[in-house]
Amino acid sequence: MGASYRSAVWRLRLDNVDFSNTLAVGDGAARFAATLRPEGCYVTAIDPHSTTPDVRRCGLEDLIDAPGRYTAIVYWHGLERTPRPSGEIRMATHLLRPGGSLIVSIPDPDSVQARVLGARWLGRHRPGERHHLSRRSLAALLRDNGLRVRTSGVSGGVTVLGWVDGMVQLGVGLRVRHAWVRTGSRYRLGRLLTLLVLPVAAAAAALEAVLGRTGACTAVAVRESA
């Protein structure tokens, strides 16, 4: 898991994102924060339901009195869990300093795996999700709130795991996370099937990447200088 966050940060740095003062929204386990802090970045992680000690238990609305504070605000698979994504983006724009970046990564319902797996697609069943925004609808939402979308592309995210989870469901009717934490012959079969389908899932994920339609997408949007 840590490697995927480091890879994400590396790719975002190529987009010239300044992480020096970052707000990580919905980072309940402080994984994004833990990736950036060793690099000397000041990171505030917030999640109203977190039990992690160095995560503030609050929402974005509790920080609204600090306009223009952050160089970057990150929603790493968190925007789709908020009650009103448009309101979240509006508040995030208010908190960004001019020239700052808003990074949003979401599962993409227009991806190849979402269309192939249908109701079994992992992106439709992740805990706490309320909305399913496509890459296009996300870009439109960012623009409607006065942000300039600099990049909007594919993301590693749930790509390989999404394929594995869907294939295991097709085979034995189990979600991968259940197969690896529960006991019994059916769950043992689920673990075996997970290992067997992994090469196929990796190949499917690679094809998605070539087509530019992976299971998750990431947008980087900039608040224009005043």
Q: How far apart are CA 71 and CA 23, in angstroms?
A: 8
Q: How far apart are CA 69 and CA 140, in angstroms?
A: 24
Q: How far apart are CA 163 and CA 43, in angstroms?
A: 32
Domain boundaries, the chain: 2-223
Q: What is the pTM of this model?
A: 0.84
Mean pLDDT, rounded, for 37-60: 90
pLDDT, one tens digit per residue, over 130-172 is 677 888 889 999 999 999 998 776 665 567 888 999 999 888 8
Q: How far apart are CA 24 and CA 78, in angstroms?
A: 10
Which single residue is written with the structure tokens 């769950």?
187
DSSP 182: S
Is CATH 3.30.565.10 what the domain over 2-223 is classified as, yes or no? no
Decide which of 181 and 62 is more confident: 62
pLDDT over 60 (residue 20): yes
pLDDT over 80 (residue 2): no
Which range of 18-27, 126-135, 143-152, 206-215 scores highest in mean pLDDT? It is 18-27
- Tokens matching residue 80: 């789709």
Any idea what the Cα angle at residue 7 is, between residues 147 and 30, rounded to 5°?
A: 75
DSSP string of 33-96?
Answer: HHHHGGGT-EEEEE-TT---TTSB---GGGGTTSTT-EEEEEEES-GGGSS-HHHHHHHHHHHE
CB–CB of 213/108 below 8 Å? Answer: yes
Q: What is the pLDDT of residue 142?
A: 94
Neighbour-count burial of 36, counting CB atoms closer than 10 A to its CB (0-12 exposed, 13-18 middle, 19+ buried) = buried
pLDDT over 70 (residue 173): yes
